[in-house]
Structure 1
Amino acid sequence: MDTGSHLLFGVTLAGLAHATTLAGNDPAVSQALMIATVVGSHAPDFDTVARLRGFSAYIRFHRGVTHSIPALFLWPLVISLPLAWSFDVMDQLGMLYFWTWIAVVFHVFLDMLNAYGVQCARPINRRWVHMDVLAIFEPFLFVIHSAAAIWWLAFGGEASVLFPAAYGLTLLYIGVRTWQHRRLVKRVAAALETNGVCHVIPSFHPFHWRFVVETDKLFYTGKLEYAHVILEEVYPKQQHDDIIKATVGVDGVRAFLGFAQRIHVTWNERQDGYEVIWSDVRFWYNRKLPFGVEVQLDRDLNVVNHQLGWRKKAWDPPFV
């Protein structure tokens, strides 16, 4: 999810810890706990530093090893141990570690529920897991957790009431969205009369979704508005001829192929050579495919230039 939501959940997880009375009444423990859950809720996304090495490195690294099985246990240790020592609460190290672990696991769980996905099974499996249930930002969850945090911190609300209720509503909301998603996948398959692989992807609006269906020869893209299936574009699959094959070894293409799920590739002839465009159809929006790699070749099929990333404005959808 977005950074703001992750940090907010860190605050409310600290509140949930107080609701269980495990945090006690020691101000030092409370401060250490708040820092631990907030930092833990964001820690897996420290991999954004990979952007300094370029977008290819970022695509390879983001939501990979920092969200992996070993990281679930290493992040809490790296965070809780220095905090317990600096706040002189080493006797509460176990409690700090536990709630930091909860924060890290919840971060990865939320990332798994959106369309971008996460490599949460590494090093056992490098497969990208994306449930396509939640949007990158969920207004309902943000409002619920903001209200609980403000009521607790600013108005002295009872943690034992606010935070179990907030997290109960969160789990209920995720359950409803999961049920809604499964129902819509079946609706799209029935409407298009196809057995292809279907992705139904949420938006900020609770009843507006986008879909992508891949068959042996075609990609179908469209949207669902209040369960009405609206087909927008059909993209034919292109055979991998020599022009396309000449780009497979490019660094940006290799990074893209390691992440993309529904791959569409096409090429155009230019005055001085060719342009090959790789796109991930999952992220289509407004009849366009804004995420992928553009590779320029000369007439001898030598790579002249390539660019990996988003072909859209930062403020335009999709937000992933």
Structure 2
Amino acid sequence: MDTGSHLLFGATLAGLALADPAVAAHAELQHAVLAAALLGSHAPDFDSVMRLRGPYAYIRNHRGITHSLPAPLVWAPLLGLPIAWLFGAQAWSGTVMLWTFIAVCFHIILDLFNAYGVQCLRPFTRKWLHLDALCLFDPYLFAAHGMAVLLWLFDYSRATAVFEFVYAMTGAYLLWRLVVHRKVLAKLCAYYRTEASQVTMLPTFLGTAWQFVIDRGDEYMTGYYQFGRVNEAAYLPKAKPDSLTEAAKATMASEGVRAFHRFSDRIHVNVQDLVDGYLVTWSDVRFWHHRRMPFSAAVTLDRNLNVLSDRLAWNKKSWEPPFV
């Protein structure tokens, strides 16, 4: 999810920790748990430092090893022990590490619910896993957790009970989103007589509709599902190896296209003739919106099919859909 949401959830996890009598009774432990939960909730995204090495390195590494299966076990002592020492809570180092561990795990779980996905089963597999049930920013979760933090700040006497209720509702909400996703997926599979593996779906911002992509062999079909109705939007040819033009093949070795292919699995390619060459654009169809596919690798070639430039990027503002 987005950075702001992760930090907010870190704060509410620290509030939830007050249910532990030891945390509630010792101010230094409360401060240590708050710092650990905030840092732990953001720690997996420390891989954003890869942006310094360029967009290709960032796409290859973001939500990779820092979100992997052993990552929480590494982050817990790496952050928890020095935080416990810094706040004079060495006697409760285990508690601080525990809440760091919980914060990291919650971060990874929430990212798994997003369509972008995570490599959370590394080192056993580098496959990108995504449940496609939540947007990058969920307004309902943010509002509920934000209200809980406000009550805590205003010294509400039953703040701990509020945090317990909010996390119970959060678990129920996540389960409900999964159930809704599976029901819509089943309806689309029945409607188009296709397998679930051939369908990918993204929720809209308010969660009242779903945009989908269906692999139909030689092409992709995009559309919306809302209130029991299916609305088809567009048909796009697949980028199949045996149907690529020479210009498209000439871009396969470029760094941007290689990074793109390591991440994307619903791929459309468009070759545009220019006055002095070609513009080849590889797009991830999963993230289409209003006939645009903002996540793409664009490569410029000369007439001899030499690569002049390539660019891999999200061609949208962060507040624009799709929210991944």
Same fold (TM over 0.5): yes
Paired residue for 2:249?
245
Query: Deviations along 1:8-40, whole A, 9 cap, x unmatched?
Result: 110111111111324141111110110100110
Give the whole-Å Cα distance in 1 for the aligned partners of 2:173 and 2:157. Answer: 23
**Cα offset for 1:310?**
1.8
| Number of equivalenced pairs | 320
Paired residue for 1:118?
118
Out of 307, 310, 314, the position equivalent to 1:310 is 314
User: For the Cα contact (< 8 Å) 1:184–1:200, is it kept in 2?
Assistant: no
Matched ranges for 1:205-220 at <5 A: 205-220=206-221
- 2:70 is paired with a residue whose SS is helix
Query: Deviations along 1:222-253, whole A, 9 cap, x unmatched?
Result: 11222321100010224123222211110011
Q: Which amino acid aligns with 1:123?
A: P
Q: 1:253 to 1:42 in 2, by over 3 A?
A: same
Paired residue for 2:282?
278
Paired residue for 1:175?
175
Paired residue for 2:34?
34
Give the whole-Å Cα distance in 2 for the aligned partners of 1:49 and 1:223. Answer: 36
- 1:111 is paired with a residue whose SS is helix
**Cα offset for 1:207?**
1.0
- 1:155 is paired with a residue whose SS is coil
RMSD (CA atoms): 1.4
Give the whole-Å Cα distance in 1 for the aligned partners of 2:77 and 2:109. Answer: 19
- 1:10 is paired with a residue whose SS is helix
**Cα offset for 1:108?**
0.2
**Cα offset for 1:314?**
4.0
Give the whole-Å Cα distance in 2 for the aligned partners of 1:139 and 1:313. Answer: 18
Give the whole-Å Cα distance in 2 for the aligned partners of 1:72 and 1:124. Answer: 16
Out of 273, 293, 318, the position equivalent to 1:269 is 273
Paired residue for 1:103?
103
Q: Select between 202-211 and 185-194 the one with higher mean Cα deviation.
A: 185-194
Q: Which aligned segments of 4 or more residues in structure 1 are displaced greater than 6 angstroms?
A: none
Q: 1:187 to 1:31 in 2, by over 3 A?
A: same
**Cα offset for 1:156?**
2.6
Q: What stretches of structure 2 of length at least 5 have no aligned partner?
A: none
Q: Which amino acid aligns with 2:255?
A: D
**Cα offset for 1:131?**
0.3
Give the whole-Å Cα distance in 2 for the aligned partners of 1:314 and 1:135. Answer: 12
User: For the Cα contact (< 8 Å) 2:117–2:128, is it kept in 1?
Assistant: yes
Q: Which amino acid aligns with 2:122?
A: R
Paired residue for 1:75?
75
Give the whole-Å Cα distance in 2 for the aligned partners of 1:289 and 1:67. Answer: 26
User: For the Cα contact (< 8 Å) 1:207–1:227, is it kept in 2?
Assistant: no
| 1:199 has 2:233 as partner | no
Paired residue for 1:63?
63
Matched ranges for 1:115-154 at <5 A: 115-154=115-154
**Cα offset for 1:135?**
1.0
Give the whole-Å Cα distance in 1 for the aligned partners of 2:147 and 2:315. Answer: 36
Q: What stretches of structure 1 of length at least 5 have no aligned partner?
A: none
Q: Which amino acid aligns with 1:144?
A: A
User: For the Cα contact (< 8 Å) 2:201–2:211, is it kept in 1?
Assistant: yes
Give the whole-Å Cα distance in 2 for the aligned partners of 1:36 and 1:288. Answer: 41
User: For the Cα contact (< 8 Å) 2:151–2:159, is it kept in 1?
Assistant: no
User: For the Cα contact (< 8 Å) 2:205–2:323, is it kept in 1?
Assistant: no
Q: Which amino acid aligns with 1:131?
A: L
- 1:69 is paired with a residue whose SS is coil
Q: 1:136 to 1:314 in 2, by over 3 A?
A: closer
